[in-house]
Amino acid sequence: MDKKILLIYTGGTIGMVPTEAGYAPKAGYLQSFLESIPALSDPSMPKWELLELCPLLDSSNMTVLDWNRIGRIIEEHYDAFDGFVILHGTDTMAYTASALSFSLENLDKPVVITGSQIPLFEVRNDGLDNLLTSMLIAAEGRVHEVALCFSNKLMRGNRSVKTSATDLYAFSSPNYPALADIGTRILYNNMIPPRKVEGPFRVQELKKIPIGIIKVFPGIQFELFEEIMSESLKGIVLETFGAGNIPGTADAILPIVRKARENGTVLVICSQCLKGSVSLGTYETSAALKEAGAVCAYDMTTEAAVAKLYYLFSCGYDAETVKAKMEEDLVGELSK
């Protein structure tokens, strides 16, 4: 195949080696390991080059600055390659996929993010299949967005969630159909319209915006969270029950709502349910949030909501504009 793809290894199980402290990534190891795999030099496969992040990271340690480093690599090599495969740890893969789906503006080439639950060096592993399939998808050029490929499913990156710490089938896309079903052939979903590209490709630098997540639970005392609602806090994602419901009387949430309003903090309402959508005002228990002008995340994942807050504030929008854009579908991350 005369297509050329860039593999970007960020760290993560797929390329890790055993150490006394457990699996850890090792600089330089993956290049020689991949060169020893005959399938990767088969004529049916695209040509590839590998770049590694320095330092390599367990994805639990990744921050917005690492998302920027990945973005810059893609930007620098955008014209020279047909597609990109990011080899990444599974723990925060859905966050990275979501963040890149926003920051890689006007993306017109495949960016496929993958990894594995068992490292490639183990005889029985899921990494080789994930890698080969991702490379083929990146070379075929049928997707023009950030997609997550894992265990024979191709998902929209900003719709994916890690749903198992141990199953090889580790990711799901509960609110959006698969971009492709991968069996004996790779069958792309033709019902999904291609994304609109409205200008030249560019990468929006993300900033370390102070944001937080609060997960509600029976008996939560909202007043305890008042202290963290400082002026510097730009956004809070509230993970609520079901369709956006919170426990307690309408007054219970007031300390948070009042502080958010005073400080210009954007309050985003997501659901703890993986499937379905937030619908504020359907129940009395979400009416206070609706009245307070909280942002409805609809069926957005928490990962996408967090990434979108980072992105919108990094673009320099004021709180009112961020609120409005949080409820808009920017890159396929939500449906109403």
CA distance 281 to 34: 54
Assess 175 for contact with ligand ASP (CB under 6 A).
Answer: no
Assess 299 for contact with ligand ASP (CB under 6 A).
Answer: no
Assess 119 for contact with ligand ASP (CB under 6 A).
Answer: no
Per-residue CA distances from 334 to 163, 176, 235, 259, 280 (Å)? 19, 9, 18, 27, 16
Where in the sequence numbering do the catalytic residues fall? 13
Q: Which of 46, 71, 89, 157 binds ligand ASP (CB under 6 A)?
A: 89
DSSP secondary structure of 186-229: EEE-TTSPPPP--S--EEPPP----EEEEE--TT--GGGGGGG-
Assess 160 for contact with ligand ASP (CB under 6 A).
Answer: no
Q: Which of 96, 101, 103, 117 binds ligand ASP (CB under 6 A)?
A: 117
Nearest residue to ligand ASP on Cβ basis: 89
Least Å distance, CB 328 to ligand ASP, is: 31
The number of C-alpha atoms within 13 Å of 93 and in the hemisphere containing its C-beta is: 35
Hunting for tokens 């954007």 — which residue is that? 266
What DSSP element (H or E) covers 239? strand 235-240
Give, as ranges, the residues between 230 and 249 that touch ligand ASP (CB under 6 A): none
Nearest to ligand ASP of 59, 160 (CB atom): 59
Assess 130 for contact with ligand ASP (CB under 6 A).
Answer: no
Least Å distance, CB 310 to ligand ASP, is: 19
**Residue 46: cis peptide before it, omega within 30 degrees of 0:** no
Assess 134 for contact with ligand ASP (CB under 6 A).
Answer: no
**CA torsion through residues 134, 135, 138, 139, sign:** negative
Residues that bind ligand ASP (CB under 6 A): 11-13, 58-60, 89-91, 115, 117
